[in-house]
Amino acid sequence: MSIRQYRPRNNRRRGISANQSIGLYLLFALAIGLQISYPLVSGDTLRYVTIFFVIAGALLMLVHALLSYGFKYFAIFGSVTFIFSLLVEILGSKTGWPFGTYAYSDSLGFKVAGVPIIVPLAWIMMAHPVLIAARKTFPNWAFLYGGAGLMVWDLFLDPQMVSVGKWTWEVVGPHVPYQPEIPLSNTAGWLFAGMGLMALLNLILPKERRKAGVNSTIPDIFLAWTLFSYVVGNLFFFDRPGVAIFAGIAFVLWAAPYLFVISFGKPDLLK
């Protein structure tokens, strides 16, 4: 009989380092700072602020995914979300399905089949916090809750981008309330496409965090900031109170179940 010395494996679930935490919060501050500057600039400066805000936001969520869930999660989430959203946007801009008839301008930079590369990065920026919220709140219905989250975000995004000429719509039939330049089919399309992406990600992504020291604070604050910034922007800078109220109420109604869960825990009905 032999006796072998037991050496326990290092705890791979320990929290991230102080430098990594600082890096995350610096990225977060950069993204927020760029968005704050958005209503204060114009012309080419506005174009660059728009592009770099999306890049910073997407990078923030990808880094959070890497540190929180590990490389496998990061690689699958980033690649699947990018490819899925790019294909959906190409299909939409070429055929009018599922969003309606629209076209991108040249102001958002390099395009693939008519779709600016920056657009899938915007999907990445919002899909990560929305998926976290959906999995925590309604794990069995994450695809529906997550799809609704992307849909209510677009109620803010589309009127802002259309107003500065980033893309244009052909409005046929009913339009989104307080958004006559955007067809109602776009809202339905976002719900449909968002549900598809959320269902796919929820199916193939691991659910357990790799490191216990990382939580969802940054994605959660980013969601809250998204609501706050768009409401304030539409009320005081873009002169669109209807968008602020309608989209703001829709976003609050969507976020309310998640806020309840992270504040008080999940009710037995949802477990």
8 domain residue, yes or no: no
Q: What is the reported pLDDT for 15?
A: 56
User: What's the structural domain count of the chain?
Assistant: 1
Q: Which of 198, 246, 265, 256 is nearest to 224 (CA)?
A: 256
Residue 220 pLDDT > 60, yes or no?
yes
Residue 218 has pLDDT above 60, yes or no: yes
Does the residue 135 lie in any domain?
yes
Is residue 136 within 8 Å of 145, Cβ to Cβ?
Answer: no
Q: Is residue 230 part of a domain?
A: yes
Is pLDDT at 9 greater than 50 in this prediction?
Answer: no
Q: Give the model's confidence band at 140: pLDDT under 50 very low, under 70 low, under 90 confident, else very high.
A: very high
Name every residue whose Cβ is closer than 8 Å to that of residue 200 and which is 6 or more positions away in sequence: 80, 84
Query: Ramachandran region of residue 209, left (φ > 0), alpha (ψ -120 to 50) or beta?
Result: beta
Whether 2 is covered by a domain: the verdict is no
Q: Count Cα atoms within 13 angstroms, Cβ side, for 5.
A: 1
| Residue 258, pLDDT score | 97
Single pTM value for the model: 0.91
In a domain? residue 136? yes
User: How far is 127 from 139, CA to CA, in rounded Å?
Assistant: 15
Helical H runs in 164-240? Answer: 184-204, 217-236
DSSP-assigned letter for residue 179: E
Residue 153 lies in a domain: yes
Question: Domain limits at 266?
Answer: 18-270
The answer to whether 133 touches 145, Cβ cutoff 8 Å, is yes
Model confidence at 14, pLDDT cuts 50, 70, 90, reads low
The residue among 110 and 270 whose pLDDT is bigger is 110
133 within some domain: yes
Question: Which pLDDT value is given to residue 271?
Answer: 57
> What does the pLDDT average to over 5-28?
68
141 found inside a domain: yes
- The continuous run of DSSP H or E covering 80 comes out as helix 71-95
pLDDT of residue 11: 41
Instruction: Say what the pLDDT of residue 256 is.
Output: 98
pLDDT tier at 214 (50, 70, 90 boundaries)?
A: low
CA-closest candidate to residue 85, choices 142, 126, 49, 52? 126
User: Is residue 208 scored above 90 in pLDDT?
Assistant: no
